[in-house]
Copies of this chain bind each other. A is one copy, B any other.
Amino acid sequence: MSNQGYIHLYTGNGKGKTTAALGLALRALGAGKRIFIGQFVKGMPYAEEKALVRFPEITIKKFGRNCFIENEPTQEDISTACEGLSEIAQLVPSGEYDMIVLDEICIALHFKLFKTEEVLNILANRTSHLEIVLTGRYAPDALYEVADLVTEMKEIKHYYKTGVQARKGIEF
Contacts and interface: CB of A to CB of B under 8 A. Distances in A.
A12 interface: yes
A51 interface: yes
> How would you classify the secondary structure of chain A's contact residues: helix, strand, loop or mixed?
mixed
A119 interface: no
Given A23-B22, A170-B27, A147 B151 contact: no
Nearest to A160: B149
Interface residues of A, number: 54
Contacts of A168: 31
B156 A148 contact: no
What is the copy number of this chain in the assembly?
Answer: 2
Contacts of A149: 15, 157-159
Interface of A: 6, 8, 10, 12, 14-24, 26-33, 46-52, 54-55, 98, 131, 144, 147-159, 162, 164, 168-170, 172
B28 A151 contact: no
Given A16-B16, A27-B172, 18 more contacts: A6-B164, A6-B170, A15-B149, A17-B20, A19-B22, A19-B24, A20-B153, A26-B26, A26-B52, A27-B48, A27-B170, A30-B49, A30-B50, A33-B169, A98-B169, A148-B159, A149-B158, A150-B156
9 contacts: A14-B151, A16-B151, A20-B20, A27-B169, A30-B47, A51-B55, A149-B159, A150-B155, A152-B154
